[in-house]
Amino acid sequence: MNDRPRGLIVYGTTFGATKGTSEEIARVLREQDFDIKVVNAQEEKIKDISDYELVIVGSSLANCRWNGHAEDFLKKFRKELEQKQFALFVSSVAAISEREGNTDEVAKIRKLALEDKISKYGLKPVMTALFGGILNYNKMGLVTRKGMEVAFMSRLQNNGFKETEPGVYDLRDWDKIRSWTRELARKARE
């Protein structure tokens, strides 16, 4: 018999940041004695969430839109999520605005990425988070890449974000992710 709380992390990713964030959340929750399953919503379709006390849904935010596979999960299970300890997070470029101290821009992204989604599906998460994502210029088409370079390149450099490899910027704050996860574990046990 397993007395550890069971948790499910379902994510949709564009450049891999949401996958890595989901895996780190799972690692921290396992340290907190949770039994955790991590699922890429594109690769595995969940049929039932009744075995889980905690459900976390993470999505990349690309062109101001949620990953379709992660959103499909929210649509499908919105009623069941009412009975769960439930959390949402988004991987995005909001980390740039946070580092700049641009609270208005962060608030806009939070509203678009989290609050509007919560309202649309009538969700009641115990916690939400905006985490940094990955900008991978190597995986973008030419037009998108040029537009993103104009929009973000100087902001990345001015705010101390460094390339982790040529053309790739990892905007994640691992301490923030771990701290959020420990707080979520505490709330999930209440």
Tokens at residue 187, please?
């709330």
pLDDT digit string (tens) for 65-92? 999 999 999 999 999 999 999 999 999 9
Task: Examine the domain organization and report whether 119 and 140 are in the same domain.
Answer: no
pLDDT value for 189: 87
Q: What type of residue sits at position 105?
A: E
Range of the domain at 40: 6-133+172-188
DSSP labels, 7-19: EEEEEE-SSSHHH
Task: Examine the domain organization and report whether 53 and 108 are in the same domain.
Answer: yes
- With cut-offs at 50, 70 and 90, classify the pLDDT of residue 130: very high
What is the distance between the alpha carbons of residues 3 and 35, in angstroms, rounded to a whole number? 9
CATH value at residue 89: 3.40.50.360
| Beta pairing partners, 38 | 9
Q: Does 19 fall in a domain?
A: yes
- In the chain, % of residues over pLDDT 90: 76
pLDDT digit string (tens) for 90-126? 999 999 999 999 999 999 999 999 999 999 999 999 9
pLDDT value for 14: 87
- With cut-offs at 50, 70 and 90, classify the pLDDT of residue 2: low
Task: Examine the domain organization and report whether 105 and 139 are in the same domain.
Answer: no
What is the distance between the alpha carbons of residues 66 and 97, in angstroms, rounded to a whole number? 19
Q: Which residues contact 28 (CB under 8 A, 6 or more apart)?
A: 177, 178, 181, 182, 185
What is the distance between the alpha carbons of residues 116 and 106, in angstroms, rounded to a whole number? 14
**Domain count for the chain:** 2
Three state DSSP letters for 122-135: CCCCCEEEEEECEE
- With cut-offs at 50, 70 and 90, classify the pLDDT of residue 153: confident
pLDDT value for 1: 46
Task: Examine the domain organization and report whether 149 and 165 are in the same domain.
Answer: yes
Average pLDDT, the chain: 93
Q: Does 1 fall in a domain?
A: no
